Amino acid sequence: MFFPVQKFADFVTYTVFKIPQGSKLASAVNFFIFDTIKIFILLFLIVFVITFIRSFFSPEKTREILSHKKQNIFLAHILAALLGIVTPFCSCSAVPLFIGFVEAGIPLGVTFSYLIAAPMVNEVALGLLYANFGLKIALIYVLSGEIIAIVSGILIGKLNLEKYVEDYVFKIKVGNVQIAEDKKTLNQRLKETLEFTIELIKKVWVFVVVGIGIGAFLHGYIPTGALAKIAGKNNPFAVIFATALGIPLYSNAAGIIPLVSEFRRLGVSMGTSLSFMMSVTALSLPEMILLRRVLKPKLLGIFVAIVGCGIIITGYLFNLILG
């Protein structure tokens, strides 16, 4: 599929820029050109298709579905984690969604199952992981992300931590949102999908280019297997370090996956690489800052600790299963 892209990258690197073949600079530049074009093609196609599918969903519909399932708490956790995959989400929507869910009477643990799954397990992560690592890795990532979201939500629910939600949240009345029948035509949906896809790419392109740029540097100047000793599966602390390293960073799946690909080439184990990716996407600093507006510090700390431990355990399981 990407053979023409590779030929174009070769032409620009060796003919236009006249960089000697076999040099470290040529390797880095060629990687950057090829991966930038490839990632943006995949990003556009994946986001467009999934955005069209999820145009039939909305935060209000999600809220209504979960409020009807709150009597069966285990099913509600599973449904919340699954809805996190297909419903629109960004860090800026975390607070209004949280308030809306709480106001609708959705249990706190179920709300967290959604808030954990939505940023970590999304269409971009699934599509790019499949394109770069194959179906097996993509499915394992999605399954583990869903399990982390469900188990973390259940634990938070069992701890009865409602008292650590900021008091004003329970006083807000969002009101009963009437969900009108969606009568958009196919052309309207396609137009809105295209507009959303373009806007999303405008928002994330910097992170994508930076991620590819770092990956290109590693590809050109760091030899294969260089990190195997310090971040390979034989280092018992590699997963913990990768998870802790990812928490203060801010990016999205599109910006992180080029790094994950290069980490693998450098000898970093798959579990360690994906733990880093999960940490960046599920526990990003901007989202924590926003959630602090509705969560007291103790609950925010418990949330980070539970999800972080889940990511670490998953990383070790990845390393064990994938070898």
The Cα–Cα gap between 109 and 159 comes to 9
Q: Is the dihedral of CA 299, 84, 124, 91 positive or negative?
A: negative
Decide if 245 contacts 285 (C-beta within 8 A).
no
Tell me what the mean pLDDT of segment 54-73 comes to: 69
The Cα–Cα gap between 312 and 200 comes to 30
Percent of the chain with pLDDT over 90: 33
74: tokens are 């285990």
Judge if pTM exceeds 0.85: no
Decide if 164 contacts 299 (C-beta within 8 A).
yes
Tell me what the mean pLDDT of segment 152-176 comes to: 83
Q: What is the pLDDT of residues 97-113, one digit of tens each?
A: 788 788 778 889 999 99
Tell me what the mean pLDDT of segment 195-223 comes to: 89
Query: In terms of DSSP H, where are the helices of the chain?
Result: 3-10, 24-53, 59-68, 73-86, 94-103, 108-120, 123-133, 135-158, 167-171, 186-221, 228-231, 238-246, 253-265, 270-282, 285-291, 297-322
Q: Is the dihedral of CA 202, 208, 210, 216 positive or negative?
A: negative
* pLDDT at 157 exceeding the cut of 70: yes
10: tokens are 């070769």
Decide if 91 contacts 286 (C-beta within 8 A).
yes
φ, ψ for residue 264, nearest 5 deg = -65, -40
